[in-house]
Amino acid sequence: MSVTETFNSPVRLRLVFSIGFIIGLLMPLVFGEAYIRFRPPTDLQNYLGDDSPLTGIYKPDAQLGVDYRSIDDYRPDEAPRFSDIKPLNTSNPTWLFFGNSFAGNLSYAAADQLPSYRIMFFREPKDRLHMRVAQARMLLEHGIKPQRMIFTLIPGEIAVYTQLPLSSIYVNKNGAITYRVRMPRAPWNQPLIYSRLALMAWVQSGLYRAIPGFPLTKITEAFPDSVTADFRRLFGKLGDLSRKYEVPITVIILPDRRQILSDDSNFAMQKTITELGKEAGLDVFDPTPMMLRQPDKRALYVPDWHYTKLGYNLVIQNLRDHLKRVDAGRGIVSDKIEQ
Domains in the chain, number: 1
Q: In sequence order, what are the residues at sequence separation of 6 or more whose Cβ sits closer than 8 angstroms to the Cβ of residue 166? A: 64, 65, 130, 230, 233, 234
What is the residue range of 282's domain? Answer: 88-165+219-332
Residue 117 forms part of a structural domain: yes
Percent above pLDDT 70 for the chain? 87
Asked whether residue 21 is domain-assigned, the answer is no
Mean pLDDT of 310-332: 89
Residue 24's pLDDT band, with cuts at 50, 70 and 90, is low
- The average confidence (pLDDT) of the chain is 88
The answer to whether 75 touches 68, Cβ cutoff 8 Å, is no
**CA–CA dist 107, 263 (Å, integer):** 29
What CATH number does the domain containing 302 carry?
A: 3.40.50.1110
Global model pTM greater than 0.75: yes
Query: Residue 198: inside a domain, yes or no?
Result: no
Chain centroid, CA 114 distance in Å: 29
Q: Are 216 and 206 in contact (CB under 8 A)?
A: no
Q: Are 211 and 182 spatial neighbours (Cβ–Cβ below 8 Å)?
A: no
Q: What is the pLDDT of residues 275-288, one digit of tens each?
A: 999 999 999 999 99
Give the Å distances, CA to CA, from 71 to 67, 84, 85, 267. 10, 12, 13, 39
Mean pLDDT value across residues 226-235: 98
C-alpha gyration radius of the chain:
26
> 247 with 140: CB under 8 angstroms?
yes
pLDDT attached to residue 17: 44
Q: What is the mean pLDDT of residues 92-117?
A: 95
Domain contains 37:
no
Q: What is the mean pLDDT of residues 314-335?
A: 83
Domain assignment present for residue 192? The answer is no
Give the mean model confidence (pLDDT) for residues 196-208: 89
Q: How many CB atoms lie within 10 A of CB 128?
A: 21
> 31-35, 279-283, 314-318: lowest mean pLDDT where?
31-35
171 within a domain of the structure (yes/no): no
Specify if 252 maps to a domain: yes
Pairing status of strand 177-179 against strand 169-171: antiparallel
H-assigned helices in the chain: 3-7, 10-38, 42-45, 101-113, 129-141, 155-159, 190-194, 196-205, 225-245, 257-261, 268-279, 288-292, 309-329
Q: Measure the CA angle with vertex 333, ends 330 and 339; round to 5°.
A: 130
Q: Which alpha helices (H) appear in 206-308, and where do they start and end?
A: 225-245, 257-261, 268-279, 288-292
Q: What is the Cα–Cα distance from 128 to 152, expressed in whole angstroms? A: 11
Q: Residue 69 falls within a domain, yes or no?
A: no
